[in-house]
Amino acid sequence: MGNKRSKKDRKKRKIETKKNLSIEKQLKFEQNQEDIELKMLLLGTGDSGKSTFVKQMKICYSGGFSTSEKNLYTCVIQINCLNYTKELLRSMNVLDLNLSKEKAEDKKIFFKLIQTSPRKISPKIADSIKSLWEDPSMKECFKHRNKFQLPASTGYFLDKIHQIADKNYKPNKTDILNCRIPTTGVKELSIEIQGYTWKLVDVGGQRSERRKWVHHFDDVDLLIFVIALDGYSQKLFENNNINRMHESLEVFDQITNNDYFKKKDLVILFNKIDIFQQKIAKVPIKNTFPEYKGQDNYEEGKEFFKQKFLNSIKKSNKRSISTYFTCGTETNTMKSVFENMRKTLIQKYINSIF
């Protein structure tokens, strides 16, 4: 009887000791959290959605965008709309698509008007863009945008061209999330959550920007690599002979197996699932990945690319790897993903200080 009671007491003391250690860890963490800055490095090739992730964090945790920032986005959105229209008209020539006779006159008007207003959309320019965008041949051209450098958000903005041209126009959250501004140099966002600081570092994904990445490798707590799933059928902005997904795989292999990061925790965001779901029914994966044996559907396609990336990582017992399938413009989804990352990193930090 005495031996049984002794075993029971030892087990009880062990549980209490473990519980007390957990409480001590949490207390020590809370006492020091004002001095804690955890660094997340966002990497990925151009147009993968890294900057959209940072925008979402700004919306969720940093009060959104100031008036001056919205004014900047107004200018960028107008310039983008002008460029999208010019690229569509150029691409129509490549595809041998012709505007109707009436719309051909609108094309002349458009190019004449932008000579005097090359960076701002006047109501008359908006009229010409709307008329051109309504032409069936231009819509047909847009369906083949994977052959050209046209983002999926082109249609979103051209559909509301008169609103964008209004002198009182201020972009809303969805406009800003869909607005593309290629990252040059380094963009940093520090956000305070429950008394400690999260530093997000976004470096440009274009080829010319990648040489700057190495300068930000020190003191990284978490590496986030963003992959645009729809890139399997697109070419690089910088080189129209190279597939975006092939490039992403090569860069991913170089980064994740780099000595700087071999032991760093890794989060992989397979982004733009909404566009991927639309595209996969029309553009077979086998066109660019002949080794693919699955059906052209979302579930099989996303798993193929997930394994493609995971298989390139050299295994390490000291590294945790998490994967998420995301739509960068969905705020609630991106916040949920970040919360999961945050909690995991906090727990790992608490364990490391003992």
Question: What is the full DSSP assignment across 33-93?
Answer: GGG-EEEEEEE-STTSSHHHHHHHHHHHHS----HHHHHHHHHHHHHHHHHHHHHHHHHHH
In 3D, which of 209, 176, 180, 210 has the Cα closest to residue 87? 180
Instruction: State the greatest distance between any 2 C-alpha atoms of the chain, in Å, as a whole number.
Output: 101
- Residue 13 in domain: no
Same domain for 249 and 192? yes
Cα distance between residue 219 and residue 260, in whole Å: 10
Dig out the tokens for 52 from the structure.
């959209």
Residue with tokens 């049984």: 4
In 3D, which of 57, 59, 81, 61 has the Cα closest to residue 70? 59
Residue 55 bridge partners (DSSP): none
CA dihedral 288, 290, 293, 298 (to 10 degrees): 0
Same domain for 291 and 159? no
Residue with tokens 């963003």: 226
Same domain for 218 and 158? no
Q: Are 64 and 58 in contact (CB under 8 A)?
A: yes
Same domain for 328 and 260? yes
Q: Phi/psi at 336 (nearest 5 deg)? A: -65, -40
| Domain coverage including residue 98 | 67-178
Instruction: Specify the pLDDT at position 167.
Output: 92
Parallel/antiparallel/unpaired status of strands 321-325 and 265-271:
parallel
Cα distance between residue 111 and residue 125, in whole Å: 9
Cα distance between residue 334 and residue 341, in whole Å: 11
Same domain for 87 and 199? no
Same domain for 49 and 157? no
Spell out the per-residue pLDDT of the chain, length 354, in tens. Answer: 555 556 666 666 666 666 666 666 555 555 555 567 888 889 898 889 999 999 999 999 999 999 999 999 999 999 999 999 999 999 999 999 999 888 999 999 999 999 988 889 999 999 999 999 999 999 999 988 888 888 889 999 999 999 999 999 999 999 999 998 876 667 889 998 877 788 898 886 555 555 556 655 667 888 999 999 999 999 887 777 889 999 999 999 988 888 777 778 899 999 999 999 999 988 999 999 999 999 999 999 999 999 999 998 877 657 789 999 999 999 999 999 999 988 888 877 666 655
The order of strands in the sheet holding 186-193 is 186-193, 196-203, 37-43, 222-228, 265-271, 321-325
Same domain for 60 and 87? no
Same domain for 277 and 206? yes
CA dihedral (243, 246, 249, 250) positive or negative: negative
Give one DSSP letter per residue of 202-229, joined into a string.
Answer: EE--SGGGGGGGGGG-TT-SEEEEEEEG
In 3D, which of 219, 181, 209 has the Cα closest to residue 43? 209
Total of domains in the chain = 2
User: The pTM is what?
Assistant: 0.84
Query: Please, is 208 exposed, middle or buried when counting C-beta atoms within 10 Å of its C-beta (0-12, 13-18, 19+)?
Result: exposed
CATH of the domain at 157: 1.10.400.10
Cα distance between residue 101 and residue 105, in whole Å: 7
Same domain for 169 and 212? no
- Residue 16 in domain: no
CA dihedral 212, 216, 217, 223 (to 10 degrees): -100
